[in-house]
Amino acid sequence: MTDQTTINEASATPLSNSRKVYIKTYGCQMNVYDSTRMSDALARDGYEPTSDPEDADLVLLNTCHIREKAADKVYSELGRLRDMKKRKAGEGRDVVIGVAGCVAQAEGEEILRRSPAVDVVIGPQTYHRLPEALRKARQGERIVDTDYAIEDKFEHLPAAEPTKIRARGVTAFLTVQEGCDKFCTFCVVPYTRGSEVSRPVHQIVAEAEQLVAAGVREITLLGQNVNAWHGTGPKGEAWSLGDLLYRLADVPGLARLRYTTSHPRDMDDRLIAAHGELRALMPYLHLPVQAGADRVLKAMNRRHTADEYLRLIERIREARPDIAMAGDFIVGFPGETDQEFEDTMRLVEEVRYAQAYSFKYSTRPGTPGADLKDQVPEEKKAERLDRLQALLLKQTREFNESCVGKKIDLLLEKPGRMPGQIIGRSPWLQSVNVDAKASQIGEIIKVRITGIGTNSLFAEPLGA
């Protein structure tokens, strides 16, 4: 196996001292997951993680390209790193700098041109080749690997050690699907992450079992278009995400399941049924709509109308009445009129979101949206975003207020800011502060919500 080769090679060239890697992760949860997988692969090559870039022999930026600002941040960080690398070289220490993630995929060679300090550029499809790229970089080569690898990177990335999983906590991400074939006209994902690929059932179940064996209680299945996941069941039958959730709900010790992010077009009956029937499936659904006017939805190539989205939510709420809805919105898509923006506001009023993420449209080179005339002026976008965010914030507050007085199951997750306090996670993905002992982390306890703060709720324990 490749893992073995990696170990042998590492021990064939003894290290004078252990190396440290600092990974900075930008963007979505899939990048967070990928960073842990890269960290695990690097551990096999003798790299210990550090939280201090000054202490690192390898600095790896796992980047995001979804909006213009996200990519700009990477280049300014690379500027700072160039100075650090120069200073360290003066002190006799060679620092290797790597760029991974979606900016790496989108910009490739361009990163080497713009940022002379960068040694390795590696795209999301080839993380299993990172150790090899780093060995070459240590010999002075500059590497760009942004292929869409034919081999499956997950088959080739080593599994994490149980102690490492345990140290990361009682909740974990698990990527089940990557890439996207939807081609929304504003979005770079189909270009940076490639076309839709689903991981096979056996791989997913094995990884879930490993996580649970190491103490994980809640798993969030990840995918750019997670509910487009498809696979094959034990009898050779076609499975959709709903079937996979039923299977994972049977993993002993796995208390909670979530998945993100979904496309309205892929919410099939089996998945909706899972929300009604599976106790382990938490009542929270992130279902982006982006806009509320049918003309804009069409121009975005979302392939559904506002009404179809609203009817879909009705059906989901019939199956699971207490489900908390979350959404994504883009304001100022090219050609969006004042009237069309009001349609978005009306849709939000109708849905009542518990949580939402909203953005000004950002032109992404290479996407069809970039070529559209009628770009909306920045001030207009800012004005619309202010109004939309005020409404969404109000809805989040109202949702949180509606929880006060409720008795809920709380998964105790990590120490709170005050001694004697633990932060837990509610079924609706809220952070909740409660008095509990550190030894209880990982338990699910009954609490009553007593109040709300700015970013979290407060609760009192209700005994066994």
Write out the residues near ligand SF4 by the rule CB under 6 A: 180, 182-184, 187, 189-190, 224-225, 263
Query: Which of ligand SF4, ligand 5AD, none does 67 bind, CB closer than 5 to 8 A by kind?
Result: ligand 5AD
| Cα 451 versus chain centre, distance | 29
Residue (376 or 447) nearer to ligand 5AD, CB: 376
**β-pairing verdict for 238-240 and 230-232:** antiparallel
The entry of ligand 5AD, ligand SF4, none that residue 330 binds, CB within 5 to 8 Å by partner kind: ligand 5AD
By beta-carbon proximity to ligand 5AD, the closer residue of 58 and 325 is 325
Q: How far is the CB of 367 from ligand SF4 (least distance, A)?
A: 9
222, interface contact from ligand SF4, ligand 5AD, none, CB < 5-8 Å by kind: none
The residue among 190 and 332 lying less far from ligand SF4, judged by its C-beta, is 190
Which one of ligand SF4, ligand 5AD, none is in contact with 170 (Cβ closer than 5 to 8 A by kind)? none
In the complex with ligand 5AD, the residue whose CB is nearer, 67 or 129, is 67
Largest CA-CA distance found in the chain, in angstroms, rounded:
67
Nearest residue relative to ligand 5AD (C-beta): 328
Residue 180 touches which of ligand 5AD, ligand SF4, none (Cβ within 5-8 Å per kind): ligand SF4
Q: How far apart are CA 172 and CA 216, in angstroms?
A: 7
Write phi, then psi, for 257 (nearest 5 degrees): -130, 145
Selection from ligand 5AD, ligand SF4, none that 225 binds (CB < 5 to 8 A by kind) is: ligand SF4
Pairing status of strand 421-425 against strand 407-415: antiparallel
Q: Which two tokens stand for residue 327?
A: 């959404």
Residue nearer to ligand SF4 on the CB measure, 88 or 182? 182
Name which of 96 and 330 has its Cβ closer to ligand 5AD.
330
In the complex, the smallest distance separating the C-beta of residue 183 from ligand SF4, rounded to whole angstroms, is 6
Q: What DSSP state is assigned to residue 377?
A: P
Contact positions vs ligand 5AD (CB under 6 A): 66-67, 186-187, 288, 290, 328, 330, 359, 361-362, 364
Helix (H) or strand (E) holding 165: helix 162-168
Give me the least distance between CB of 262 and ligand SF4, in Å please.
Answer: 9
* CB of 266 closer than 8 Å to CB of 227: yes
Q: CA 397 from chain center: how many Å?
A: 24
**Bridge partners (DSSP) listed for residue 437:** none
- Per the CB < 8 A criterion, the answer to whether 344 and 291 are in contact is yes
Give the ranges where 332-438 is alpha helix by DSSP (H).
338-351, 378-403
Residue 153 interface partner, choices ligand 5AD, ligand SF4, none, CB cut-off 5-8 Å depending on type: none
Write the burial class of residue 21 (CB in 10 Å: 0-12 exposed, 13-18 middle, 19+ buried). buried
CB nearer to ligand 5AD: give 186 or 399.
186
Nearest to 353 by CA among 335, 326, 373, 378: 326
Integer Cα distance of 100 and 38 in angstroms: 10
User: Nearer Cβ to ligand SF4, position 174 or 184?
Assistant: 184
Q: What are phi and psi of 215, to 5 degrees?
A: 105, 0
- CB of 301: closest distance to ligand SF4 in angstroms? 8
Contact yes or no for 287/259 (Cβ under 8 A): no
**Residue 226 interacts with which of ligand 5AD, ligand SF4, none, CB < 5 to 8 Å by class:** none
Give the nearest distance from C-beta 71 to ligand SF4 in angstroms: 16
Quick one: what does residue 190 bind among ligand 5AD, ligand SF4, none, with the CB cut-off 5 to 8 Å set by partner type? Answer: ligand SF4
Min dist. Cβ of residue 68 to ligand 5AD (A): 8
Residue 60 CB, nearest approach to ligand 5AD (Å): 22
Adjacent-strand bridge partners of 22: 59
- The minimum distance between CB 226 and ligand SF4, in angstroms, equals 10
Would you give the DSSP letter of residue 289?
-
Structure tokens at 321: 């009445």
- The least distance separating ligand SF4 from the CB of residue 375, rounded to whole angstroms, comes to 19
d(CA 444, CA 413): 9
Nearer to ligand 5AD, 176 or 188 (CB): 188
Least distance in angstroms from the C-beta of 305 to ligand SF4: 16
Contact 127, 148 (CB under 8 A): no
Nearest partner of 38 among 55, 8, 59, judged by Cα = 59
190 or 334: CB nearest ligand SF4 = 190
